[in-house]
Amino acid sequence: MSGAVVQVEDKLISWRRYLHQNPELSFEEIETSNFVYSELLSFGGLEITRPTKTSVMARLIGAQPGKVIAIRADMDALPIEEDNELEFKSKKTGVMHACGHDAHTAMLLGTAKILADMKESIKGEVRFIFQHAEELFPGGAQQMVDAGVMDNVDQIICTHVRSNMVTGQLGVLAGPVLASPDSFSIKVIGSGGHAAKPHQNIDSVIIAAQVVTNLQQIVSRYIDPIDDVVLSVTQIHGGTADNVTPGVVEISGTVRTFDQRLREEIPLEMERIVKGITEAHRAAYEIEYRNGYRPVINDEEVTEVVKNTVIDLYGADALDKIRRGMGGEDFSAYLQKAPGCFFYLGVGEENMEKNYPHHHPKFNVNEEALTIGVNVLLNVVQNLMTK
């Protein structure tokens, strides 16, 4: 590891702990963004702006012309009550950095600090994007893009910590990495009445049950089995008493895929089924399909550079064999503007039983991973610039 990275280690830990202790929810990152702004200012040599109310962008414009490489970190926390016994445990009731965005922010600060000191030797520009609100749809990324943070950017990278990956391992995958997390709501509108006289009602419960089971046939029977799709009904609401047939039952859930074509096709399939079943039983329906973030699809070339950088720094064994997942990430908004790579940084313990999942009240990050993350970001940026 380069001397510059070792030197910044104490800072990385103290930044991360400060952020961990003072988490802020999506779109409310006031103190977090002020903290990031003032730290960046103390490095010198950066052009710092506020693209939105709670985000920060820093531009490091090198002495010589060249490519523009962007790095993104997200800064928001989650509405979770922390259940860790740490000296830097969250000070805020019901708010916690349970996805490691505190680590992301600290690592990007560290990378900016080291690169700012190398300004004279930099050919091109490095852009540090400290984004708000990754966790809450519609997300901060699109707002950042709309504010122009990606203008003239040639390539973009970002790392996300991963608690079920051992510290020292990295996950780098070309092509689809994360899915589009779309969601839907359906209302089955029958006609309520006394449960003892079902023949006088249009029973929305029994019709909704058929809707739920038939929706499962979309993935199993109407979509090519080769395609990756998840359709999950996650909520059913209806009824108020044992002897009353409710007039309306509400169903909602999520659809995940990597394919834009399927994102257009699935809502049509859903409506066909809902329409057919409700019509068959004299009920009516309403359906709403909401597009979430776009899928995260890594660029082959940028990903190759990230992979080779990891191998050069830590050897081929440091690359964990990861598979794409059905989660979502608004990093995809940046990828509409420039090719890039989203890769994982292991922050877990060797003993997997000690690692809690992301968004869990006991989620934690092994701080030894912070210097690894900075070292990789730093070297990937340098390799992209000279390539």
Q: Tell me how far, at minimum, the Cβ of 329 lies from Ni ion, in Å.
A: 7
| 137 contacts 316 by C-beta, under 8 angstroms | no
Question: Which residue in 29, 74, 76, 299 is the catalytic one?
Answer: 76
Among residues 73 and 99, whose Cβ is nearest to Ni ion? Answer: 99
**Which tokens hold the place of 350?**
């060797």
Among residues 105 and 257, whose Cβ is nearest to Ni ion? Answer: 105
| 302 contacts 381 by C-beta, under 8 angstroms | no
Mapped onto helix, strand or coil, the DSSP state of residue 65 is strand
| 102 contacts 20 by C-beta, under 8 angstroms | yes
Beta pairing class for 175-178 and 340-348: unpaired
Question: Which residue in 134, 269, 320, 330 is the catalytic one?
Answer: 134
Q: Tell me how far, at minimum, the Cβ of 20 lies from Ni ion, in Å.
A: 14
Tell me the Ramachandran region of residue 58: left when phi exceeds 0, alpha when psi lies from -120 to 50, beta otherwise: beta
Among residues 99 and 106, whose Cβ is nearest to Ni ion? Answer: 99
Q: Tell me how far, at minimum, the Cβ of 140 lies from Ni ion, in Å.
A: 12
CB atoms within 10 A of CB 202: 20
Q: Tell me how far, at minimum, the Cβ of 222 lies from Ni ion, in Å.
A: 32
Establish whether 76 is a catalytic residue.
yes
Q: Tell me how far, at minimum, the Cβ of 175 lies from Ni ion, in Å.
A: 20
Among residues 25 and 218, whose Cβ is nearest to Ni ion? Answer: 25
The amino acid present at 190, given as its one-letter code, is G
Q: Tell me how far, at minimum, the Cβ of 236 lies from Ni ion, in Å.
A: 28
Angle, alpha carbons 63-67-70 (nearest 5°): 100
Among residues 135 and 228, whose Cβ is nearest to Ni ion? Answer: 135
Among residues 60 and 297, whose Cβ is nearest to Ni ion? Answer: 297
Determine which helix (DSSP H) or strand (DSSP E) holds 271, and give its type and residue range: helix 260-280
Determine which helix (DSSP H) or strand (DSSP E) holds 41, and give its type and residue range: helix 30-43
Contact positions vs Ni ion (CB under 5 A): 99
Name the CA dihedral angle for 11, 13, 19, 22, rounded to a multiple of 10 degrees.
-110
Radius of gyration over alpha carbons of the chain, in Å? 24
Residue nearest to Ni ion according to CB distances in the complex: 99
User: Number of C-alpha atoms within 13 angstroms, CB side, residue 84?
Assistant: 24
Among all residues, which ones are annotated catalytic? 76, 134
